[in-house]
Amino acid sequence: MKRVLIAASLLALFNRMPVAALGAQRRPVLDSTAITDIATLLMLEDVRRFDEPELARLLDSKHPEVRRRAMLSVARIRDPRGVALLRARQLDGDTALAATMVFAVGQLRDTLTIAWFDSLLSNSRTPPTVGLEAACALGKIKTAAAREVLARYLSKAASGPNTNATIGEALLSIGRSSMRGDIAAIIKWATASDEEIRWRAAWALFRPRDPAAVAELFRLSSDPSALVRSWAIRGLVKTQADSASLGERAEAKLLAGLSDPDRRVRTEAVRALGTYSDSAAIAALVTALSSSDTWISTSAA
């Protein structure tokens, strides 16, 4: 009875949905069988039950929307057996479904899938949306091996309309790695003409708190983009700057950052100054306490 009620509700919802909401590419109509299958997937997700025969049947459904939702269900149930279930099937010719498959495998964070993600990233014929999900998945695994794949991709990739989104995602993923490593592949993109790529490079340099990145972050703290400056200046904290023998210059940059025209940069300068304990830093923080801008005053506090 519960399955019937869910199916009826879903069928009513999709029957009322305007065609434009379903996307530019026309999809097959969701008939009663497809709706029932989707209801089954929702119930499996609700109880996190890995029903392998049922999931396998729905992954092989003739209806693309059922197949897509079955992939997402495997990802949401988060059973390790889901990796083999998904990888037993070839990537769909529909790029949206192929990207969903890569996303689903990535959600399971299995280190044995690193080589597969590597093969997708290194293949020039991989659709951009699929490559983006492969880069994102490696950022979830976070191991040294995953970082190595991302660094290799970033070293060889060339900027372009079909690659920029994947490059940006790879930069975020390499920044999430739990292991430090050579930063040359990240620095390569710190001078990109695209601001969206540059700020991600700045973030990837800042996040591991690696003293080796301080010199490049110092340079990026003068970037024309306020978003890039805000991430770069956040990395000029005392422990890392001192380790890079740039402590005094970094503090001077932070003090200057308090007058930056962008609020985000000023806020990050205050936060980073909180790691310095000399009289100049303390005086600047005390002054910031009385700022009328709560971003600044609360950060100083």
pLDDT at 277 over 70: yes
Banded pLDDT at 208 (limits 50, 70, 90): very high
In total, the chain counts a number of residues equal to 301
DSSP 8-state symbol, 90: P
The listed CATH number (1.10.10.10, 1.10.300.10, 1.25.10.10, 2.60.40.1120) that belongs to domain 109-208 = 1.25.10.10
The proportion of the chain whose per-residue pLDDT surpasses 90, expressed as a percent, equals: 90
The set of residues, in sequence order, having a beta carbon less than 8 Å from that of 199 and lying 6+ positions away, is: 225, 227, 228, 231
Q: What is the pLDDT of residue 6?
A: 52
Question: For residue 221, what are its two tokens?
Answer: 């703290």
Per-residue b or e along 22-37, where b marks 16 or more CB atoms closer than 10 Å to that residue's CB: eeeeeeeebeeebbbb
- Helix, strand, coil percentages for the chain (3-state, nearest 5): 70, 0, 30
User: In which residue are the tokens 């991302």 written?
Assistant: 150
**Cα-based angle 30, 83, 98 (whole degrees, multiple of 5):** 45
User: What value does the mean pLDDT take over residues 148-152?
Assistant: 98
pLDDT tens digit string along 70-110? 999 999 999 999 999 999 999 999 999 999 999 999 999 99
Residue 271, classified by CB atoms within 10 Å of its CB into exposed (0-12), middle (13-18) or buried (19+), is middle
Q: What is the pLDDT of residue 2?
A: 52
All structural domains of the chain with their residue ranges: 1-106, 109-208, 213-301
Does the pTM surpass 0.75? The reply is yes
The proportion of the chain whose per-residue pLDDT surpasses 70, expressed as a percent, equals: 91
- Given CATH 3.20.20.70, say whether it is the number of domain 213-301: no
Cα 190 from chain centre: 18
Asked whether the beta carbons of 85 and 77 are under 8 A apart, the reply is no
Whether the domain at 109-208 and the domain at 213-301 fall into the same CATH topology: yes
CA–CA gap between residue 120 and residue 274 (Å, rounded): 43
Q: What is the pLDDT of residue 9?
A: 54
